[in-house]
Chains A and B, each alone.
Chain A
Amino acid sequence: MILASDVNLVYDDHGREVFACRDVNLIVREREFVGVLGPSGSGKSSLLYLLSGLKDPTSGGVRYRGVEFRACDDRRRAAIRREEFGFVFQYPYLIGFLSALENVLTGWLNGAEGVERAASLLERLGLGEKMHRRPDELSGGERQRVCIARALLNNPKALFADEPTASLDPKTGEEVVRLLAEHRTGALVLVTHDRRILAGADRVLRMEDGRVFEE
């Protein structure tokens, strides 16, 4: 479904070339749970941005269902991210002036049934009582669950989670990963430095200095 071929991502650090990703060749298959493990600064997040089309590689290419991201304009690429992908980031980013339910709805594509579906997702994620609360009235774990609901709203073909447990306590973190795995409707690419939360992954990749190794 997602194919990365000879991908390099190079940053310029005051005149010095830094490889965030180096010679990455990778396939993410339909409904596959891929865990990406590595220490901080190993290039895990960069890989996730490349696979989801948020970033362009310096060389090589990333395709989603045969479509080369680099060949897509901003509108097409945004449409893929919005219609086909879901995102959960390290920090539970929510829009402060919207309720939990409204935050979930920011990811919705069509029509009136969005409210019903968003409410149903929040119910399933244990936030039925709190769906009308603002983010500052929710705990960190609850906020991350709202982010998961937002990411799941469109039944994404691929779900990208970038260190979704980093800002949570271990118990809540495990719960968040369980929810992600349980409710996903497509592939899941989960980036983390914590091996324990990848117990349910179909495949675990290890990253070191921008290189990807199969475990």
Chain B
Amino acid sequence: MRKPLAPHVFLLRNLSRTLPMVVVIALAVLLVAGIVALVNSVPLSVRSIYGYSKAFAAALPRNDPAYLPEMERELEESPVPIERVLRIRVAFFNVRSIVGKLPFVLHGISPEDGAFLRERLDLGQLTGRLPSPGAPEAVITRRLATNLGVNIGDVLLSPADQQNYSPQVVRVVGIHEGDLWFAYGDFDYVARNHLPPVDDLIIVAKDQRAFDRWAVEHFRGSRARILTHEELLRETDDSLRVLLQLLSVVIGLLVVVVTVMIGLFINIYLGQRLTEFGLLQAIGYTRSFLTRRASAEAALLVGLGWVLGVLLSLAVLWAAKVTLMDPKAYYLEPLDRVALAYTLPLPLSVLAASLLTIRLRFRKFDPVVVIERRVA
């Protein structure tokens, strides 16, 4: 041991003092990262569940089927080239998410449009078969099947199910292996059995984002409702804004509590080490050396706590993802950069408080007072 005064020596040889502080910081980091990652899993789920909306926009006439031909004419005027406009009908059922059940669309699509959409959405290899014309049958994707816990031959909608209602039992006849969430059935069956009795339009454009922006602006104030991916994201963010603001307050309070606590600990421990500091200054170490050494110890402790907290968070969130979320196709990102960013104020403020405490302690430190044993 050539450098007995190196900062890590104190930390490693005084684990009964330093480990609790490291653990407190690590647990606080875990708490913050965990909460933020869980909250972020909500928009992540929404974006994933409704991710198919990136591929097309939907246009719905508001309670006026007669408006549909006019909508189609106006769509032809789009400055953004349109690849295809599909007429569909919709039925609804629920999927499970971390915040409860969310409505999901069973798209009623004609066989010709179905072939186009499968290719456009890249739904992946199909196990089973396509729905027969007019039959109460559905094809879903693997993620959706995992989420609902269904397989080929299982019931998706039924007359007995209030939330996933259809006048006839609709069974799953095929599953696409892709990651996208999507469900479709035969146009005729959905049109005959589900409300509203109005066709909706799906518009697939060459440049979907540009088309979506144009369509939203163009149909603003009209009798058409335009649904786009961007609008979905905006609505999700809006609905979570208050929650995130409240979360920031909670995290801010946590940071203050942990900062005060660690600051007090460090102050107490510095007080207990006055003899050591007095001795070192008496035998020739400068006040600035002692300040630097204590600061380096604090920085090491805080850094260690944060790194441990981040690793702990990754481990816990990964375990939660694998054991709790994945089996239900729920979304959770263990390496959530936003969650990690939220943890940064914690070590930074703790370090700032520690450095301030150290600076105040050493500002007028007199080794003779210590050597003469005039301090406790």
Contacts and interface: CB of A to CB of B under 8 A. Distances in A.
A105 B283 contact: no
B1 interface: yes
Contacts of A19: none
A114 B2 contact: yes
A98 B373 contact: no
A106 B209 CA distance: 68
Contacts of B4: 95, 98, 102-103, 105-106
Interface residues on chain B, size class: 20 to 34
5 contacts: A78-B284, A81-B284, A96-B276, A102-B1, A106-B283
A87 interface: yes
Nearest to A132: B1
B235 to A, nearest CB: 58
Interface of A: 45, 49, 54-55, 74-75, 78-83, 85-87, 89, 91, 93, 95-99, 101-103, 105-107, 112, 114-115, 150-151, 162
Interface string B28-70: 0000000000000000000000000000000000000000000
A97 B284 contact: no
Given A75-B288, A78-B285, A150-B283, A97 B13 contact: yes
Given A81-B283, A105-B2, A114-B2, A93 B371 contact: yes
Contacts of A49: 368
Contacts of B278: 93
Given A75-B286, A78-B284, A95-B279, A89 B368 contact: no
A2 B289 CA distance: 27
A120 to B, nearest CB: 16
Interface of B: 1-2, 4-5, 9-10, 13-14, 275-276, 278-289, 367-368, 371-373
Given A95-B276, A102-B1, A106-B4, A74 B286 contact: yes
Given A86-B283, A89-B279, A93-B279, 6 more contacts: A80-B284, A93-B278, A95-B4, A95-B279, A98-B13, A105-B1
A74 B287 CA distance: 8
A114 B1 CA distance: 10
In the complex, the 6 A-B pairs of residues with the closest C-beta atoms, listed nearest first:
A82-B284, A102-B4, A81-B284, A97-B13, A78-B286, A93-B279
A80 B282 CA distance: 11
A151 B9 CA distance: 22
Given A97-B14, A102-B4, A112-B2, A87 B368 contact: no
A200 to B, nearest CB: 24
A102 B5 CA distance: 9
Given A81-B283, A82-B283, A82-B284, A115 B368 contact: no
Contacts of A87: 282-283
A97 B10 contact: yes
A84 to B, nearest CB: 9
Contacts of A91: 373
Nearest to A111: B2
A85 B276 CA distance: 18
Nearest to B287: A74
Contacts of B285: 78, 82
A102 B367 CA distance: 21
B371 to A, nearest CB: 5
A112 B288 CA distance: 24
A37 to B, nearest CB: 19
Interface centre among A98, A103, A151, A162 (most CB of B within 10 A): A98
Contacts of A96: 276
Nearest to A160: B282
Contacts of B5: 106
B349 to A, nearest CB: 28
Contacts of A89: 279, 282, 371
A95 B1 CA distance: 14
A115 B3 CA distance: 10
Nearest to A76: B286
Contacts of A112: 2
Contacts of A107: 283-284
B284 A83 contact: yes
A162 B286 CA distance: 21
A51 to B, nearest CB: 13
A97 B278 CA distance: 16
